[in-house]
Amino acid sequence: MIYLEGLESVIECIYLNDELDNRVSSCNVFVNPMNIKYLTGKTVVINVSDYPRELIDELVKNGCKVISRVYIDHPGVEVKPYILRINPNIIWNGRVLEDFDNFTDLLSSTNDCEFSIDDYVLYFPKISSISSGDSRAMDSYGNLTVIGWALQQVGVNLVSGVFTDLDIVKTGKIMY
């Protein structure tokens, strides 16, 4: 069970095909937690490039298993990048955003992003201001961040190869 704390945890939930809950006591996975004072012995997933190093140090010291989707040079962190595969639970919502400031604004605006807890489907926009090589989308090793993985799912081709134009593939108009 993943602790529901913003869009980053919603996307991670979809990626892991897990469930969300807003009760700390029932969750064993936390995504990019900022309030970690009492977080011990849990699994923590870091899926952004700018997570504070001092929080990582404290999480490791508290016996948490720390997994990162982006490269972090820390002896207590296990790097497990996102694996690209089609995920039908992230669907392009038909919108293209010019600017992107942060996840909180994106999820709070129902015009830009919508998530249904009933069926675990996220309707996500394309963001034109983010492209391949942008640190918000991937690290210097080419590992996608949470926003990069979501954008690849809605057809923003940050990583070249077989898994491109996934928005069109999901419509069934072309076969994969």
Using one digit for the tens of pLDDT, what is the confidence trace for 57-100?
999 999 999 999 999 999 999 999 999 999 999 999 999 988 77
CA distance to 13, 46, 112, 168, per residue, from 99 (Å): 25, 23, 11, 23
Using one digit for the tens of pLDDT, what is the confidence trace for 35-59?
998 899 999 999 999 999 999 999 9
pLDDT value, residue 112: 77
Average pLDDT on 131-142 reads 89
Instruction: Work out the burial of residue 171: count CB atoms within 10 Å of its CB; fewer than 13 is exposed, 13-18 middle, 19 or more buried.
Output: exposed
* SS3 sequence of 16-75: HCCCEECCHHHCCEEECCCCCCCCCCCEEEECCCCCCHHHHHHHHHCCCEEEECCCCCCC
pLDDT value, residue 98: 82
Residue 7 has φ and ψ, to the nearest 5°, of -65, -35
pLDDT value, residue 38: 86
pLDDT value, residue 40: 95
Using one digit for the tens of pLDDT, what is the confidence trace for 107-135?
555 567 889 888 999 999 999 888 888 88
